[in-house]
Each structure stands twice: as C-alpha cells, then as structure tokens.
C-alpha cells in the first residue's frame, strides 16, 4: 500500500535519513536540556542587570572616592555643635541625646551660653573596624549682653564615633584638645612675589583679573580660545589691584609664563579682600592670554611639601614700599596717580 504524499512529508527527517529511533530520542532530550540551559543563563543575566550598573557608552565608570569615615566625620561635627550650644541643665539627654544617649551630670553647664558658628572635621583616625577618633574644629561664640554673642578662639575637640547596623553613636563627651599645629609652607616654583612691573604679561594678567572678578570687559578677550574659564557672575568687586606678582618663564615652544599673583579686590561698598591666584600665560598672535587658571600654586619639587623650607617672609607696610597695578571696572588705563597710606608708597594705575 502506498503512503499518501502527506504521510511522506510528515515523516521525521531523521527517520528518512536512516537514524535509529533511540538516537532520535537522545537528540531530542539533548536539545531540550540545551534550551533550558539557555533559559536559565538568560534569567541570571537579567537578575544581574539589577545589581551591576554599566556606564553609558563612552563614559568613564563612576567611582566612589569618599573616605570610609565621611559619615563619622559629619556625625561628630553635628554632635560637637549641638553639645556645646544646647547641652546642660542637668544632663545630656536633651538635644545631644541623639548623639550620646548616656545620662551625665551636667548641672554646672549652662545651655546656650556658647554658640557654635561653624564646625569642620580636621582629622579622622580609624581605631578599629567601624570605630573612629574624629577631631573637630569649632568657631565658638560666647553669649554677651542683650542677647548678642562675641567671638571666642577657634577650638578643637576629639570625639569617639562608633558605627553599627543601627547608625552612629558617640562613645564619650567631647574632649577639648589643642588646635593642630600649622605646617611649614613649602617652597613654591618661581621667584618670590614682588612689586608688579608694567610689562606685557603683567598687564595681561591685570586685565584678566579685572574681567574675571569685576566684570570689566569680556573674559574671552583675555583667555585662550579653547579655555572653559568663566567670569564670576554677578561680579563681586568693582576694582581690582595687582599688588604683588611672580613670573617664571616656561621652557616650551610657546614661551609660556607661570604667574603667581596677589590681588586686592574691592567691592562697591569699599570692602577689600586680598586674594591669591596662580595661572599660566601663553603668547598667541602677538598678545598674552591666560591659558589656564591653576587650582593651587605649583611646588618647587614634586616631593612632599614638608621636605622643603618655607619661603622667606616678606615684610609689608612700615618701611617697605609696594607698587601695584590697579584696574577699576571701566575701560583702558589712562592715567597714573601715586597715593601714600600707612607709611607705604603705592603706585596705582587707574581708569577714568
């Protein structure tokens, strides 16, 4: 009896190829196992995607660079500020109990006799796993008459801070300690700060500061075309004066200059701030431009700062004379006037 054409078409290809039925069954089971393996692997990959966050294409992976003591430091800052200002009247279970929940006799303390204007963690030493000694600096004010406060000295306090699954806790009352000693100022690159001359690099730096701090002109005129520097807005000052400057030549093809500057910036109300800047100047198309505003003055050597002696202190005022270039927030310098104040002779260039 002949098979119908449909029966022939529906016959397994393995059977037509002469494969025994036992091997056919083994192949089917192997294919099934392989399919389930792929399903499981796909599921694991999907679950892992919830825990592994890959950076977008072309972006650097995000790295958490916070020190492990950051939480303990913040906790200690709040604890010191709250304790000094609010603790007292018998015990520490009032405002400070969230930090140090231990019953302590503080009847000799007067709450709100002191006021802490600012606290900052100066140092954190890890004493053990989840346990730090934190040194906190505090600007303290004392209560004066008529509800006012008068400033006291800046103080330092040490606090033990422990971390558990429930959070942070102080292990004692704050201990007042000496403020950390100031380190020796390392030797910086370039010559010492001196009275500014009326050379092109100095004038370029002065005009840059006028635009950067006082809004005098467009900053783009005084910086390199590829610079991303932005002027401070709104301009906080009305007049800037370049008091002292240090200029060092670089050994590169552009003849760049490393500049350290001391700037006196005065606002519209007559208040003056003395500011320090470091920047790089480069010459392009016949004029000097600021190529980079440095975040800190470069050291004379890449070794540790403590390995170098401090720069000699420069006495100001008294018998010393200071020549300064001043640029108010208007236009191009037009006249030079000499003023004498506090026994120091100061040459000032002003704009009308």
Range(s) within the chain of domains with CATH label 3.10.450.540:
70-177, 200-350
Please determine, for residue 7, whether its predicted confidence score (pLDDT) is greater than 50: no
Residue 66 has pLDDT above 70, yes or no: no
Residues of the chain with pLDDT > 70, as a percent, come to 63
pLDDT value of position 96: 81
CA pair distance 329, 206, nearest whole angstrom: 12
Number of Cβ atoms within 10 Å of the Cβ of 102: 14
At 70 the three-state DSSP class reads helix
pTM passes above 0.75: no
| Among 263, 260, 259, 219, residue whose Cα is nearest residue 237 | 263
Owner of token pair 């470069």: 298
27-46 mean pLDDT = 45
User: What does the pLDDT read at residue 91?
Assistant: 55
> Cα separation of 192 and 257, whole Å?
14
Question: pLDDT tens, 175-193?
Answer: 999 998 888 888 998 888 9
Structure tokens at 15: 């059977």
For 269-289, letters b (16+ CB in 10 Å) and e give eeeeeeeebbbbbbbeeeebb
Report the distance separating Cα 275 and Cα 220, nearest Å: 22
The pLDDT tens digits for 135-177 are 999 999 988 877 788 888 899 999 999 998 889 999 999 999 9
Look up tokens 């040459």; give the residue: 347
pLDDT band at 254 (very low <50, low <70, confident <90, very high): low
CATH of the domain spanning 70-177, picked from 3.10.450.540, 3.30.470.20, 2.60.260.20, 3.30.70.3270: 3.10.450.540
Work out the average pLDDT over 251-275: 88
Confidence of residue 269 (pLDDT cuts 50, 70, 90): very high
Parallel, antiparallel, or unpaired: how do β-strands 149-164 and 167-170 relate? antiparallel
* Alpha helix positions (H), the chain: 5-10, 13-16, 21-51, 70-86, 200-214
| Per-residue pLDDT, 307 | 43
Q: What is the mean pLDDT of residues 111-119?
A: 86
Beta strand pairing call for 131-143 and 149-164: antiparallel
- Residue 244: pLDDT over 80: yes
Judge residue 252's burial from the number of C-beta atoms within 10 Å of its C-beta, 0-12 exposed, 13-18 middle, 19 or more buried.
exposed
Please tell me which residue, 158 or 4, carries the higher pLDDT value: 158
Tens digit of each residue's pLDDT (9 = 90 or more) over 39-62? 444 444 443 443 334 445 555 555
Contact 296, 185 (CB under 8 A): no
User: How many other β-carbons are positioned within 10 Å of the β-carbon of residue 114?
Assistant: 21
Question: What is the predicted pLDDT for the residue at 56?
Answer: 52
The pLDDT tens digits of the residues spanning 278-306 come to 999 998 888 899 999 999 998 988 655 54
CATH fold of 200-350 reads Nuclear Transport Factor 2; Chain: A, (3.10.450)
Per-residue pLDDT for 75 more than 90? yes
> Which of 274, 252, 255 lies closest to 263 in space, CA to CA?
274
Q: Which of 263, 226, 265, 216 is nearest to 243 (CA)?
A: 263
pLDDT of residue 219: 93
Q: What is the mean pLDDT of residues 107-129?
A: 88
Rounded to the nearest 10°, the torsion over CA 329, 334, 336, 337 is -70
- What SS3 state is found at 64? coil
């Amino acid at each position: 009896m002949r098979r119908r054409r449909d029966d022939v078409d529906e016959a397994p290809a393995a059977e037509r190829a002469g494969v025994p039925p036992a091997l056919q069954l083994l192949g089917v089971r192997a294919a099934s196992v392989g399919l389930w393996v792929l399903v499981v692997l796909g599921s694991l990959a999907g679950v892992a995607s919830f825990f592994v966050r890959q950076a977008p294409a072309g972006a650097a992976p995000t790295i958490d660079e916070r020190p492990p003591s950051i939480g303990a430091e913040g906790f200690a800052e709040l604890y010191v500020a709250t304790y000094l200002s609010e603790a007292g009247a018998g015990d520490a279970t009032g405002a400070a109990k969230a930090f140090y929940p231990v019953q302590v006799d503080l009847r000799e303390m007067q709450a709100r006799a002191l006021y802490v204007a600012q606290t900052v963690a100066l140092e954190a030493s890890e004493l053990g796993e989840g346990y730090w000694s934190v040194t906190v600096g505090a600007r303290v004010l004392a209560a004066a008459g008529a509800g006012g406060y008068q400033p006291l000295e800046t103080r330092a306090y040490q606090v033990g801070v422990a971390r558990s699954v429930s959070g942070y806790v102080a292990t004692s009352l704050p201990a007042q300690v000496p403020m950390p000693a100031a380190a020796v100022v390392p030797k910086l690159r370039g010559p010492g700060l001196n009275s500014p001359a009326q050379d092109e690099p100095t004038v370029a730096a002065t005009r840059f500061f006028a635009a950067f701090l006082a809004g005098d002109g467009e900053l783009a005129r005084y910086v390199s075309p590829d610079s991303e520097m932005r002027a401070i807005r709104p301009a906080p000052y009305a007049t800037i004066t370049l008091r002292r400057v240090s200029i060092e030549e670089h050994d590169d093809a552009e003849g760049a200059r490393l500049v350290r500057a001391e700037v006196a910036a005065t606002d519209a109300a007559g208040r003056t701030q003395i500011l320090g800047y470091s920047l790089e100047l480069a010459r392009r198309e016949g004029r000097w431009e600021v190529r980079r505003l440095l975040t800190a003055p470069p050291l004379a050597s890449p070794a540790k700062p403590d390995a170098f002696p401090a720069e000699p202190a420069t006495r100001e005022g008294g018998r010393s004379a200071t020549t300064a270039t001043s640029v108010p927030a208007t236009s191009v310098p037009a006249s030079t006037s000499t003023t004498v104040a506090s026994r120091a002779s100061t040459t000032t260039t002003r704009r009308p």
